[in-house]
Structure 1
């Protein structure tokens, strides 16, 4: 793409013009804040050594004489490991004996630090990466405050350990051997999850290793989005942002390197060298002073389900971006979107048959507020229309307690939700398995070990079959496959009596439920609509305290001997 019959890089004015005019349109609809102004770049125009005003060779070994993750390379400042040729930066990992700092290693490579650090913006790196077994090419970022001896900023700013400094992996390859060919990964490391972090996403790059691709990271105060060739594939946006989950409110710098071995796997005996070629590194921010507030702010309610309410927001601002703040109950959500583009916000984890009031305000990223803030909205969730339950059966691994599951048809989509009930598993991530043809999808974490994924454009009346793989520190467990008839709302077809009508109670209710029965009762169970047991009681002649149950719909089961009776209950 870069090397045409003429060199576009010879005309800097044209390059800057095209970047400013064309680039935002590639990412507008996929990121929350669009960054337009090129503030730093290296186009690698001059053959020979790297530009020392822009890059620093990080060569100092960490304590113990080896790099992290079991890597086996020396990073050097040798021109054979990093150099510019014909408009490309070359980072070369080589098999060669090399002694430095009193340590001899059999491989050399290069690790470059940018001498530029920034807070919020977009990074675009056009590169062709090696795919040799045992290589780990990476384009990534670290907090400027990281305490890492030998790093460019360490001497002056290095007062924070890893991962408290925050790490943003724009692209890495070679450490996900279980993934298909061409898979590249982006990841986030924070005190809340690091090392084998649960905060990662990936995608397939066509003809990886032979073609150049643009690897991008868009970082706003609200979320971090990763893109391949202008297409977003993973967004990190924790519900709670604090130093544990969001150390991304301070400057970060860029790193480029190829590591060898370690978690990248064994290096073949015939390996000689591998090269990562980088066409350019570009950083964009918004540097224009902004004193104008947003205009034309509208807000309305979109699709409503039993557990979600969609809010549709739109406003215009001269800066090109609008920030929205949504408040309801004790909850607050802040997000952003390009000016003039409708933003859909799905409010999750709501209780069915419940009215929610929302206060929505618009401002720009600078803080200028819309003149008539806020807009007030109200919506009521529907009754649950799906199938749910709990189970313990596993097709791989095992479950100590089990899991709950829920299938709900919403229009022509099916929302699938699974919750791991085991309390002995840590670092849990979930992947939805389609049975035929087999396909794996990473699920979205709602809270705790509760995960969801929505299957779109399904035909009412067809049967689908899905399971969930829960992966965690030290192993994995896979549920059995569940078949679901799209459009079925079997929860609402629960028979009032399974064998006999054992009881009655006042419904809807609140604070207490009083079971009336003409026969002796052995046990009372209350489940939520995900099938999770939330209360067990053998109190038969006194009101049962349900003050701790959130408002919504539940299933009450009453047992007498081998008889069972089931009824729905609404808590107001």
Structure 2
């Protein structure tokens, strides 16, 4: 009976571990380095190095006021716990006297990719800054453990991973902790961060984790992801995380952590264990069944559909074109859709795609090269002077562009006698006013999302400036069309078309004797273009089922019609 219960508990533990870490992209299972702190006394010098050398100038960074020491009073092991202790005491070292001491430990172990778990209880004293973090092994920092042999790269180009920081977020709850990444693209007050409010940090042990793969870095509290960093473009500016890093444990004091209480005497961060996991199974099997095809193509994007299988379960796709290169995580046997965006319209692109597993084994048919040509811009643009309110001395440029299910609307005020110009997008029905983003000069843009292809939208722009305002006329636009803008009141047309939906023949009855017609598919590609009389038919029997757009242009104006082919 006891054996059965033990097996049930073991299964439940395994299930919970797998459930918690299923939120990350790569699960690391093999313990490769740890310190359980089960020997009382001094810190294990096989695992840890005391970093005590002051930076140039005699003070630690961020206005901190402590000396880091190797005194046993500042870092010791007792009853299965590592205690990092911050103390108020005068201490002189390297010719500098400070009023506080603490400890800063460097791990003598460095690694690339894996998961770190640290179970700890934190101090909440005002002015203290406990941290569990990592730096690139190549950091050029005098006095750091790896500096003498490997310190070739200045911070932040070495990359910094703050697994847990507390005490430097005055606007947050006392139980708030944060994970942050510092890179050349964002450092100091980095935008690459996420935080979470934990339960009773001072009296409860929590597990602070980071899961670091070649594709993304996820931060976890007690096994639950609360922030993931995965920049679209991974280069030295955004992703210096392709080299080994080492661990640091410390309590900083003062500076940006705030003022220490005058009654402060000492406090500690208590750590139960530090564990690093990787996947150590030697994998010599190549990815198989590698395929790559082109999916949906727009004027600014190409979809790549990728698939491969691998015994490890994890796939890495590497896509390059021109000077650009991107990596994407995939799952064995599951098709991966990759959208390459910000492309130029009506342009041919050649994509080279290779696949490998996380060990580096490559597919035999690497690389697969795919060619795709983006479509022409699905949109309308022009220049006008008409105003629905106020007036224009010169006029304005306008453009409507369909991007997938979004429409990018851009207006430029051409009047040169306006000062302090701002712009607002006006929706006709129901009325709404939305600020537009200034691109440069008097050019403003706004993208409206989640539009239905074939639907008609109507917008104007209000330009406000010192001393007044001017509002353009309303423009109607058929989402997904590459036509000129339609007339404001399509009912002015005396034309009919039937049947719609159509299966074979589309009949047109037009009021004018001479009409230009253009029929395009959903991607803006012309299917029919002709000059026709008032009675005309279009044979659509061989067309694929879907949505088409018919533009009719004559002396009455322009009419846009959505045609559905059965």
Same fold (TM over 0.5): yes
1:262 aligns to 2:255 (yes or no):
yes
The CA deviation at 1:56 is 1.1
Corresponding residue for residue 177 of structure 1: 170
CA–CA distance in structure 2, aligned partners of residues 179 and 390 of structure 1: 41
How has the CA–CA distance of structure 1 residues 338 and 496 changed in structure 2, closer, same or farther, with 3 Å as cutoff? closer
The CA deviation at 1:403 is 9.2
Aligned length: 420
How has the CA–CA distance of structure 1 residues 54 and 291 changed in structure 2, closer, same or farther, with 3 Å as cutoff? same
Which of residues 203, 216, 238 in structure 1 aligns to 2:195? 203
SS in 2 for 1:30: coil
Corresponding residue for residue 166 of structure 1: 159
How has the CA–CA distance of structure 1 residues 371 and 257 changed in structure 2, closer, same or farther, with 3 Å as cutoff? same
**Equivalent residues of 2:39, 2:80 under 8 A apart:** yes
Corresponding residue for residue 26 of structure 1: 20
CA–CA distance in structure 2, aligned partners of residues 451 and 216 of structure 1: 40
1:140 aligns to 2:133 (yes or no):
yes
**Equivalent residues of 1:388, 1:404 under 8 A apart:** no
The CA deviation at 1:77 is 1.9
**Equivalent residues of 1:139, 1:256 under 8 A apart:** yes
The CA deviation at 1:120 is 2.5
CA–CA distance in structure 2, aligned partners of residues 61 and 206 of structure 1: 33
Which of residues 226, 233, 244 in structure 2 aligns to 1:239? 233
Task: Deviation per CA, 1:46-105: give whole Å up to 9, x if none.
Answer: 233221110111122222221111001111222232222332222222323333333222
Q: Please give the residue correspondences for 1:470-481 in structure 2 after superposition, counting only pairs within 5 Å.
A: none
Which of residues 330, 333, 336 in structure 2 aligns to 1:337? 330
Corresponding residue for residue 318 of structure 1: 311
The CA deviation at 1:40 is 0.7
**TM-score using structure 2 length:** 0.61
Corresponding residue for residue 386 of structure 1: 407
**TM-score using structure 1 length:** 0.61
**Equivalent residues of 2:348, 2:373 under 8 A apart:** yes
How has the CA–CA distance of structure 1 residues 346 and 356 changed in structure 2, closer, same or farther, with 3 Å as cutoff? same
The CA deviation at 1:358 is 5.3
CA–CA distance in structure 2, aligned partners of residues 490 and 268 of structure 1: 63
> Where in structure 2 are there 5+ consecutive unaligned residues?
1-5, 379-401, 414-418, 428-433, 456-477, 490-556, 561-566
Q: Please give the residue correspondences for 1:97-116 in structure 2 after superposition, counting only pairs within 5 Å.
A: 97-116=90-109
- Report the structure number with the largest CA radius of gyration: 2
The CA deviation at 1:241 is 0.9
How has the CA–CA distance of structure 1 residues 329 and 148 changed in structure 2, closer, same or farther, with 3 Å as cutoff? closer
1:213 aligns to 2:234 (yes or no):
no
SS in 1 for 2:342: coil
SS in 2 for 1:156: helix
CA–CA distance in structure 1, aligned partners of residues 23 and 290 of structure 2: 18
Corresponding residue for residue 83 of structure 1: 76
The CA deviation at 1:489 is 6.3
**Equivalent residues of 1:306, 1:350 under 8 A apart:** yes
1:271 aligns to 2:264 (yes or no):
yes
CA–CA distance in structure 1, aligned partners of residues 115 and 423 of structure 2: 40
**Equivalent residues of 2:410, 2:446 under 8 A apart:** no
CA–CA distance in structure 2, aligned partners of residues 271 and 285 of structure 1: 41
| Superposition CA RMSD, Å | 4.8
SS in 1 for 2:42: coil
> Where in structure 1 are there 5+ consecutive unaligned residues?
1-10, 393-398, 408-415, 424-449, 461-487, 500-564
**Equivalent residues of 1:300, 1:311 under 8 A apart:** yes
CA–CA distance in structure 2, aligned partners of residues 282 and 49 of structure 1: 19
Task: Deviation per CA, 1:534-566: give whole Å up to 9, x if none.
Answer: xxxxxxxxxxxxxxxxxxxxxxxxxxxxxxx99
**Equivalent residues of 2:179, 2:227 under 8 A apart:** no
CA–CA distance in structure 1, aligned partners of residues 105 and 161 of structure 2: 15
Corresponding residue for residue 523 of structure 2: none
